[in-house]
Structure 1
Amino acid sequence: MWLNPEGEQWTSLTKIQSSLCYLLTVRVIRARNIHQADVLSQTDCYVSVWLPTASSDKFQTKAIKNCKDPVWNETFYFRIQSQVKNVLELALYDKDVITQDDHLFTVYFDIAKLSLGEEVFMHFKCDSQRQEELEVGFALDNISGPPETIITNGVLVSRKICCLEVQVVEKKKKNEKKSLSSKKQFSFRVQGSYEGTQDIMLGSDLIFSSSSPAKFHYARYKQPTLDVTLPGKKRPPSLCSRVYDIGSPNVELHSIPSGENMILAEDKGFDLYAKAEDCLCSSPDHLDVRLGFDLCVQEQDFLCKRRNYVAPALKKVLQLQQDLLNHETPVVAIMTTGGGMRSLTALYGSLRGLKKLGVLDCATYLTGLSGTTWTMSNLYRDADWSQKDLDKQISEARKHMTKCKINSLSLEYLKYYKKQLCQRKREGRRTTFIDLWGLVLESLLHDGKDNHRLSDQQRAIDHGQNPLPIYTAVNVKNNYSTLDFKEWVEFTPYEVGLQKYGVFVRTEDFGSEFFMGRLMKKVPESRICFLEGMWSSLFSFNVLYIWNLSHSSEDFWHRWTRDQIDNIEEEPLLPLKLHELQTRLFTPPGLLGNAFRSALTDRLCISQEHNFLKGFQMHNDYLGNTHFCRWKDTVLDTFPNQLTQSDEFLSLVDTGFFINTSIMPLLKPERKVDVILHLNYSAGSQIQALDQTCKYCSEQGILFPRVDLSEEDRKKLKECYLFDGAETPGAPILLFFPLINDTFQKYKAPGQKRSESEMEDGKVDLYGCCSPYSTYSIQYTEKAYDRLVQLSEYNILNNEDLIMQALRTAVARKRQIKK
C-alpha cells in the first residue's frame, strides 16, 4: 500500500511494507601485529562490537593480555532488518587498569556486502606498513517468524515500537503503618527506550498501583532487557549495563508474552509484574511526523487559494487582455538575506515598493533569515497585512528602532528573563543563552510580553491572502565546522522539517519529544521570540567561522578538524552491490588533536531542541534516493550511524553561519518557483552570498541560473540585475537587488530629481566605517531609519521595468511548457 503520511492522497513517496529480518552472525577471530599503545607494556587487546541498528548494547570480547597477536574466537548474534542500512562498528581497544582504555582504531563494515546463506571470513588490512590485520567471520541467514511491518520514505525507516508496563504491588499486613524507615525504592531501566530509567518508591504516597504502572516505550527489534534494581541493591553504572547485583531480576523483553501480565519477582513484601504490548504502527496515520518529500496538504491547499490572488494581480500589473489560467500563473517568491536591524528596516522599504507596484500580490512565498525574520513575524500578526499599505507597520517598527534600548537590561526585565527561562526549563526544554537573546529581542522590538506563536500565522495564510512565510536555520554538529556539517531546516506556520530526510512535524509540536515518529511528550509551543533568537543567533560562531570571514577555505585546518578516515583493503573481495558503503578505518586523534579540534569547532552557544528524528533508521538505499542526494553535502552522509537521527537534540543556528541566504526552500522542486526576487541586505560584499549560492547549487546539482557579472559590475553594482536562467532549463528567473545607494543620491523618486535642499537626504552611508547601519547596531536615529526605508523602497520602484520583464518572461515560459 502506498500512502502519504496524512493518508489523504496516493503517492509513491511513503510506503508501508512487510520486510524480512535476518540473523547476522559475527565471529571475532583474531588480530595480528597490533602496535604497542602503552610505553611500558604490550597491548591488552579486546574488540568492541556495535551494531546500533540492531541493539543498544555494545558487546565486547575478553581482553587478551600482553599480546600483539590476540585470538578471541568469540561469536555475537544480531537480528537485522533487511531494509535498514546496517553498518557494523568493530573497534579495537587496549585495556588499561588506571587510565581510560586506548582506542586504537575502528573498522566500519557495511552488512549489505554479505549475501544471504553464505559464510565469509574477512581480513581487514588496518595498517599496510605495520601489517596490522583484523580477522572476522560473517554469516547472514534467514530467521524464523513473520516479516516486520515498516514505514519508509526511502531515506528514513520507522519500525515497530512496544510499550512495557511495570507494576509493583505491595503486600501489606493487617494494621501495618507506613513509616519513613519502611520506604523501598525500585529502579527500572530499559536501555535504548524513550524513558530510559524510572524509579518507584513504596512505603510513601508514591505507591504505584495497577492504575499507574511505570511505562517504557522501546523498539522491539533491539530486543532490550529490563534491568531491575531491588530495594537495598546498588544500581549498576550506566556504562556497565550487563553487570548486575545478585538478587536483581533482569528480563529479556522479547520473552514476555504480548498482552499478558508476567510475574517477574515475588517477595514477602511485594510482587513485581510486567506487561508488553505492541503500539499502533500499521499505518502512517499513526505517526506523529510526516514522512515524505512532497508539500504538506495545508501548503498544497494554500497554493490553490493563493492563485486566486496572484492570477488577477499579474493580469493587472502586466496589463494582459485575458485571465491567466492555472497552468499559466507563475510562482513568484520574495527572498531576503540577513543583516540585523539593517535588514529588518530595509525589508519594510522593499515590501512597500513592491506593494506600490502591485507585485506584492503576485508573490506566493516570502522567505527570511536572521534580521528579516523579525520583520516577517511582525507583519504576520496582521491577518491581512499585504492587502493594506504598510505605513502603519513601518511607523510601529520606527518607534521600536529609535527607542532607548538600555531599559532591556533593567532589573525588572532581568527578573522577567529569569522567570521565562525557568518556565522553559520546567517544560522540559534545554535552555541556552540563545533563549535569553530571544527574550532581549522581544524587549527591543515590542512593548511587552509577546504571546505570538508561529502556528498563529496560519490565520494570515488560510485564505491565501498573503504570501506563505518560510523561515530558515541550519542544523549543525559538535566537533564539526559549518562547512563540514550543516543541514537545512525550514519553518512555516504549518510545519517544521528537514527536506534532506523528508521528515516534518506540525509547527505546534516543534520542541516536543518524539521517538520513532511518535509523539512521546507534548511540550507547549514556543513563543516566537525564542524562534527569532534561534533564527538570528549571532552568538553561535566558532574560531573556524571567524577564519572563514577572511579566507575562502578551511584546508589549512582540516588536518585538525576532520576525522582520519581511510578506505581499507579487505580479503576476500566481495561482489559489488548497489549503494553499498566501502569498508573504512577510523583512526582516533590524540589528546592534543582532540583539544585543538574542540578549540576550533566549539561554538560559543547554540540553540537546542528535542530531535523529532530520534529513533528513525536510515534506509538501506538512502544514498540512492534522489531527494537525499540533492541536499546531502556533509562529511557524515556516508556514516549512517552518526547522522541526525541518532542525536538527542537538534543544534540549530542562524543560516548566515553558512550562507547568508534563505533561498534553499525555494529551490525545492516540489514548490516549482518560477521567479525569485533576491533582496540582499548583507554587509560588505553584496555579491558574495549569491556567488556562494551558485557554487553550492552547482555542486549539489540544483537548478539555478548562471550569475554572469562583469568585473566592472562587481566593482560598481547597479540597483538590479536580471538573470533569466535561459542557459539552464528549469531554473528560476532571478532578480537580484543589492542594497546600494546609486541613483537615490540624485533622485528622491523615479524620474524626480532632488533639489539642492534635498541632496543631504540622498547621502546614505550604508557600509562606511562611520555608517549607522552596522549589523551589530540595535538603535537608529529617526533620520537614519527613514532614509534606509526610503532607499530600499526607491531601489524597487526604480527598477519596475526589469521586474515586469521577469514576470512576462515567466508567463511566456509557462504557456510554452503547456504547449
Structure 2
Amino acid sequence: MAIPQQVAFSAQSHPGPCDESSDISIHVGISDEEKAAVKKRGEVVLRTLKNLDLDVKKVPVASVLVSGGGLRAAIACQGVLSELSREGLLDMVTYIAGVSGSIWCMSSLCTQSDGWQDLEKAENELRRRLQEDSWNFFVALDGLCDAAERDDYSLTDFWSYSTVYYLTKELPGTCLSHMREKSEMGTMPYPIFATINHDLKSSEKEKTPNAWFEFTPDWAGYSTPGAYVSTTHCGSKFEGGKRIQLEPERDFSYLKALCGSALADMNTILKTIKDFFCKFINDSSPQEKMLLADPEGTTLKTTMDQLFNLVYTFLTNGDCLPILENLQCIMTGCKYFYEATALINQMIECWGQTSRDQQRQLTQDLLGKSLNQDLLKQSSVPSFLKFLWKTINCLLSWIWGTTHNFLYKYGDIEDKLLTKKKNIYLMDAGLAINSAYPLVLPQVRNTDIILSFDFSAGDPFETIKATEKYCKACNIPFPPVDDAKLDQEAKAPSDLYIFEGKKPPVVMHFPLFNKVNCDSEEVIKQRHKTYQTFRFTNYSDAEVCQLLEDSKANVRNNKDCILMKMCELAEATS
C-alpha cells in the first residue's frame, strides 16, 4: 500500500500584522489584510476585463460559491474551477467560498505549489490519487495517537484520519495561513472556508449571521459581530481577550474534516465510525502488539472493544445488558477496573428501571472510571489507549469540532452565547445552508455577482430558497425567488438560473445535474444514484471523468452568459 504524500506544498507561513499580537480583533467589515489581498486581486480582474476591451476603472466583485456534497462535490468543484480557468473566467473572480465537500477540493489546491495556477495538472492529480489505494493504516493511526494528546480531541479528529483521508486519498500537513503570500499577491481568489457554531445552530441562532464561523488565510471568526482571531492562533486558549496557551494551528487535514463532516445522516456516520474503529482496534498494528504485551493486555483490548460496543448499541437503541454482563466478566478481578466493576454491577441491577438520560450518564461515568492514571502509567502505549477511550467518549456524547473559544469571557461582545463557554463546537455549515451565501453577501464583502455552483443532493434549489429566507430574516438584500416555479422544475432543472433584484448581488445558479448536461430526467436520477453523498466505495476513473465533464459543461455551455453579465456589471460600476 503506497504511503500518500503528506505535505505537497512546502511554503511556510510568514507573520503578518494579524500575528504581531495575540489580541482578538474586533472590526466591522473585512480586515485590512483581506482588503489588501482583494485590492491586489482586483488588479488581476481589471487586467482581464481590459483585455476584453472594456474601459473600466472599478471592477465588479465576483464570488464563486461551491456547495457541499461529499466526494461528489469535491470532484465537481475541481471540474468547475478547471473550466473557469480554461475559459479565462477564473481571473475575473475575487472570492471563492466553500462548504463541506467542496472544501476538500479547495484544500487540495491550496496544498499544491501550483494548484491554483495549473488547474489541468491539479485535475489529473485528482484522478490519479482517487485511483490509488493510498489510505495508509499506520499513518492514520499515528496521526490519531498524536491528536489524542490534545485536550480538544473530538470525533472530527477521528473523521479526519479515517473517512476524509480514506475518501480523498490525501492527508495534507500544511495550513491555511500558508496561503497568505499567494492571496496577498492576488494570484488566486481569496479563499473562505465556512463552518457553523453548533451551539448557535441548536439555539436557532443560525437564522442570524452570528452562527457562521469562517476561516481565511488571515483571520478566523465571526463576520457578525465582527470578532476574529489570527488563523494561526485559532485553537489556542484565550480568556478575557488574551491568549493564555498557544496551540499549533490545525492543518488542512483537520480543516477538511471540520468543514466536511456530513453530520446530518447519523446512522451512516455511526456505521462508518464503527467500521473504522474496529479496524484500528483489531488490525495487527505496532500499538496493538505493544498493548497485548502489557500486563492485562488481552483484558484491555477486549474491554475497549466491549466499551465501544456498549456505546454503539446504546446510540442505536439496542440491548445493552448482554454487553454490560460481558464487561462484568472481563473486568472482574482486574486491578485497574475495581471502581468500574462496582459501577457495572450497579448498572446491571438498575438498567431496566432507569431513563435514557440516566443510562447515558451511567455509561459516561463508566467510561471515566475505565481510564485511570495508573493504567496509563503502566501501559507501553498510553497515546493509543487515550485515542481509543477518547473516541468512545466523544461518540457517546456526539462531540464534534471541539475548538477553544477565543471569545471566552471577552467583555466587549454583548451576545453571551459567544463568550460564556471555554469551548465552541464547529460543524459542517451545510447543515444550515449548503452554500456559503452568508459569508459573501453585499454588506459583508460588497459582492456584485455570485456564481453559485450547487452540488447538493435532492432539491437543486434548496440553497437558493434557504438563503432568501435567511436574508429576509437578517434584512440583507437578495433577489426575489419564486419557490413555486422552482419546485416545478426541481426534478429536471436547467443548467443556469439568474436571480436579480434592485440591489446587488446578481446570482447565477448552476445545478450540477440538469436537463442540458444529462439530457433527460431519467439520466439525472441515475447520476444522483451513482454519485450519492454517502457513497464510501471508490469511484472508477470513468465515473470521475463523467462527473468532471458534467460540472465543466455547466461552465462551458454558459460562458457567454457569465461573460455578458460580468461585462454589464463592469460597465455599471465604472
Normalising by the residue count of structure 1, what TM-score does the alignment of the two structures yield?
A: 0.49
CA distance in 1, matches of 2:90, 2:201: 43
Distance 1:449 1:535, change over 3 A: closer
Q: Which residue of 2 aligns with 1:368?
A: 98
2:409 matched to 1:685? no
Offset of residue 607 of structure 1: 1.2
Deviations 1:577-600 (A, max 9, x none): xxxxxxxxxxxxxx98988999xx
2:470 matched to 1:700? no
Q: Which residue of 1 aligns with 2:46?
A: 311
Deviations 1:255-298 (A, max 9, x none): xxxxxxxxxxxxxxxxxxxxxxxxxxxxx986621111232221
Cα RMSD between the aligned structures? 3.4
Equivalent pairs: percent with the same residue?
26
Deviations 1:70-120 (A, max 9, x none): xxxxxxxxxxxxxxxxxxxxxxxxxxxxxxxxxxxxxxxxxxxxxxxxxxx
1:615 to 409, 418, 429: 409
| Larger helix percent | 2
Residues 205 and 211, structure 2, Cα contact 8 Å, conserved in 1: no
Q: Which residue of 2 aligns with 1:719?
A: 495
Residues 684 and 767, structure 1, Cα contact 8 Å, conserved in 2: no
CA distance in 1, matches of 2:222, 2:477: 19
Q: Which residue of 1 aligns with 2:142?
A: 419
Q: How does 1:350-361 map to 2 (within 5 A)?
A: 350-361=80-91
Residues 314 and 362, structure 1, Cα contact 8 Å, conserved in 2: yes
Deviations 1:102-157 (A, max 9, x none): xxxxxxxxxxxxxxxxxxxxxxxxxxxxxxxxxxxxxxxxxxxxxxxxxxxxxxxx
**Higher RCO structure, 1 or 2 (CA under 8 Å, sep 6+):** 2
Deviations 1:151-174 (A, max 9, x none): xxxxxxxxxxxxxxxxxxxxxxxx
Residues 381 and 460, structure 1, Cα contact 8 Å, conserved in 2: no
Q: Which residue of 2 aligns with 1:453?
A: 175
CA distance in 1, matches of 2:524, 2:564: 29
Q: Which residue of 2 aligns with 1:734?
A: 507
CA distance in 1, matches of 2:403, 2:162: 19
CA distance in 2, matches of 1:712, 1:481: 33
Letter in 2 for 1:614: Y
Q: Which residue of 2 aligns with 1:772?
A: 530
CA distance in 1, matches of 2:436, 2:179: 19
Distance 1:455 1:321, change over 3 A: closer
Residues 417 and 436, structure 1, Cα contact 8 Å, conserved in 2: no
Offset of residue 764 of structure 1: 9.2
Q: How does 1:378-527 map to 2 (within 5 A)?
A: 378-388=108-118, 390-404=119-133, 408=135, 413=137, 415-426=138-149, 428-441=150-163, 443-444=165-166, 450-477=172-199, 480=202, 487-527=211-251
Q: Which residue of 1 aligns with 2:294?
A: none
Distance 1:470 1:814, change over 3 A: same
1:648 to 411, 422, 426: 422
Q: Which residue of 2 aligns with 1:256?
A: none
What secondary structure is seen at the aligned counterpart in 2 of 1:380?
helix
Letter in 2 for 1:686: P
Letter in 2 for 1:294: G
Distance 1:447 1:667, change over 3 A: closer
Offset of residue 455 of structure 1: 1.1
Offset of residue 670 of structure 1: 4.0
Residues 616 and 645, structure 1, Cα contact 8 Å, conserved in 2: yes
Distance 1:448 1:385, change over 3 A: closer
Distance 1:491 1:772, change over 3 A: same
2:34 to 292, 299, 307: 299
Q: Which residue of 1 aligns with 2:552?
A: 793
Distance 1:745 1:501, change over 3 A: closer
Residues 706 and 725, structure 1, Cα contact 8 Å, conserved in 2: yes
Residues 405 and 424, structure 2, Cα contact 8 Å, conserved in 1: yes
Letter in 1 for 2:29: D
CA distance in 2, matches of 1:446, 1:336: 17
2:439 matched to 1:665? yes
Residues 132 and 169, structure 2, Cα contact 8 Å, conserved in 1: no
| Larger strand percent | 1
CA distance in 2, matches of 1:664, 1:597: 36
Residues 183 and 189, structure 2, Cα contact 8 Å, conserved in 1: yes
Residues 766 and 773, structure 1, Cα contact 8 Å, conserved in 2: no
Letter in 1 for 2:31: C
Q: How does 1:737-816 map to 2 (within 5 A)?
A: 737-745=510-518, 765-768=523-526, 771-778=529-536, 779-815=538-574
Letter in 1 for 2:128: K
CA distance in 2, matches of 1:448, 1:594: 39
CA distance in 1, matches of 2:569, 2:151: 46
Residues 334 and 677, structure 1, Cα contact 8 Å, conserved in 2: yes
1:320 to 43, 53, 59: 53
CA distance in 2, matches of 1:454, 1:421: 21
Distance 1:7 1:807, change over 3 A: closer
CA distance in 2, matches of 1:347, 1:764: 24
Offset of residue 477 of structure 1: 2.1
Letter in 2 for 1:396: E
Which segments of 5 or more consecutive residues in structure 1 lack a partner in the other structure? 1-5, 9-283, 547-590, 623-636, 747-761
What secondary structure is seen at the aligned counterpart in 2 of 1:684?
coil
Residues 613 and 644, structure 1, Cα contact 8 Å, conserved in 2: yes
Deviations 1:448-475 (A, max 9, x none): 7532111112233121011011000000
What secondary structure is seen at the aligned counterpart in 1 of 2:229?
strand
Distance 1:462 1:399, change over 3 A: same
Residues 722 and 734, structure 1, Cα contact 8 Å, conserved in 2: yes
What secondary structure is seen at the aligned counterpart in 2 of 1:743?
coil
Residues 722 and 802, structure 1, Cα contact 8 Å, conserved in 2: no
Answer with 1 or 2: which has the greater Rg. 1
Letter in 2 for 1:774: Q
Offset of residue 770 of structure 1: 7.8
Offset of residue 417 of structure 1: 3.3
Residues 70 and 100, structure 2, Cα contact 8 Å, conserved in 1: yes
Offset of residue 423 of structure 1: 2.2
Normalising by the residue count of structure 2, what TM-score does the alignment of the two structures yield?
A: 0.69
Residues 772 and 780, structure 1, Cα contact 8 Å, conserved in 2: no
CA distance in 2, matches of 1:430, 1:352: 37
Q: Which residue of 2 aligns with 1:217?
A: none
Q: Which residue of 2 aligns with 1:226?
A: none
What secondary structure is seen at the aligned counterpart in 2 of 1:605?
coil
Distance 1:613 1:344, change over 3 A: same
Distance 1:393 1:648, change over 3 A: same
What secondary structure is seen at the aligned counterpart in 2 of 1:705?
coil
Letter in 2 for 1:320: D
Letter in 2 for 1:393: A
Offset of residue 666 of structure 1: 0.2
Which segments of 5 or more consecutive residues in structure 2 lack a partner in the other structure? 1-14, 271-353, 362-395
Offset of residue 736 of structure 1: 0.5
Distance 1:795 1:303, change over 3 A: same
- State the aligned residue count: 437
